[in-house]
Amino acid sequence: MKTWREHFDLNARGTTLSREVLAGVTTFLTMVYIVVVNPIILSQAGVPFQQVFMATIIAAIIGTLWMGLFANYPIAIAPGMGMNAYFAFAVVGTSGVPYDVAFGAVFIAGVLFLILSLTRFREALIRAIPDNLKHGITAGIGLFISFIGLRLTGIVTKHPDNLVALGDLRAPTTALALVGLLITVLLFVLRVPGALFFGMVFTGAIAYALGMLRFDQGLMSMPTMPEWLVFHSPLQAFADMVHYGLYAVVFSFLIVTLFDTTGTMIAVAEQAGLLRNGMMPRVKQALLADSVATTIGAMLGTSPTSAYIESSTGVAAGGRTGLTAVVVAVLFALSAFFAPTVSAVAGLSAITAPALIVVGSLMMQSLRRRWASTRTGSRSPALRGSTAEGPSSKARSASGSASRDDFAPTLDDRKAHAMRPSLKTLLNRLRTPCLQF
């Protein structure tokens, strides 16, 4: 029987237990913001906050543990940014679909993703989508997320003629949000690991000092298990898809999740030096980690999961095996005991909205790189070639808590952006339309 060191192959990958633990802690700090932000976004669709909070944690634990134990990659899985906003504001908010029916659509997308993960059809599907559409999806979702952050804080408001107008910047919550945005941007410029998380911590501390944030229910409590099936039944989910005509919704969930996960996994694996002749071993198990987490997460009440590009910060800290992912899963389990703290923070949008604005802005880098590639006349597929069991990938940036949807179109870009960018590059990245709105 293999020992745990042999299972994770620590010696062959040139790493140690302490290094893997440090990498797991680093990855967790850069992505723990999703525990706060995801319940806030999905609660806008009427989903109970506590249900989403626990569903987010459980889905992250299942996907990340699977990734660590069976695929042996230092990659974390959790509900993805972008799809949660699409779920809450487009599917439920605009279309008027009940949230339980929408979760049924997520469940169907998860089942289809599970089937694709077991076949080679996923490669043909990814190649069939035009590169421009792949870049446009990422940038469009980024704009949407940033706008949500601006609206939640009151920086922009409704206008009967112009649709939006500048809000009252002297309002306490709006001013706090602007301060929080400034702090978060500075942390990014200084390349602080976990910039999004620590930006929320500092903003929360200011809010607490000003009396805007209170912890009436304490800081910790015993976690409560969520409802195990938020929609009626799997069969009813398929019936509702037909009744409400949710074919495009299911397709959107499936395609974006497939692109996001495949690209992120190969980009992080390449950064860690785990590709073999350009191929990603055990890619089937890696894709199963996300598809299983998406399917179970939909049953519990959360939007589709995705591999997190924030995993690259753990790789930069020395993570090379699935033990890093196991540490992340353990830390997510511990975060379940801080529901009162998360609930109090979520009640003040000025604390979490800067994270939405920054993440959405970073997601728009795909257009900038696409334009740069077009000017130089180079070919820029986001996903090209094939691996042993699946497609090659879009590469992405690995800066601090950079967006998971940061496409890098060429092989040279993938190599260049595997390392953390310079201060000048970060400053250029932060000059986005959302921050200049």
Q: What is the pLDDT of residue 60?
A: 97
| Band (134; pLDDT cuts 50, 70, 90) | low
Which residue range is the domain that position 229 belongs to?
A: 4-429
Residue 416 lies in a domain: yes
**CB contact set of 2 (below 8 Å; sequence gap of 6+):** none
Mean pLDDT of 239-244: 94
Residue 437 lies in a domain: no
Q: Is 19 helix (H, G, I), strand (E, B) or coil?
A: helix
Q: Is the pLDDT of residue 117 over 80?
A: yes
DSSP letter (8 states) at residue 408: B
Residue 434 lies in a domain: no
The rounded distance, in Å, linking the Cα atoms of 407 and 280 is 18
Q: What is the pLDDT of residue 375?
A: 59
Q: What is the pLDDT of residues 334-377, one digit of tens each?
A: 999 988 888 888 778 888 788 878 877 876 776 765 566 555 55
Count the Cβ atoms, other than its own, within 10 Å of residue 378.
12
Instruction: Give the sign of the dihedral formed by CA 271, CA 276, CA 277, CA 278.
Output: negative
Residue 56 lies in a domain: yes
Mean per-residue pLDDT over the chain, rounded:
80
Q: What is the pLDDT of residue 417?
A: 46
How many domains, in total, are found in the chain?
1
Q: Is 311 helix (H, G, I), strand (E, B) or coil?
A: helix
Q: What is the pTM of this model?
A: 0.71
For 280-295, give the DSSP string. Answer: -TTHHHHHHHHHHHHH
Residue 352 lies in a domain: yes
Residue 327 lies in a domain: yes
Determine the residue type at 208.
Y
Query: Helix 247-271 crosses helix 99-117 at what angle (to 10 degrees)?
Result: 50
Q: Is the pLDDT of residue 429 over 80?
A: no
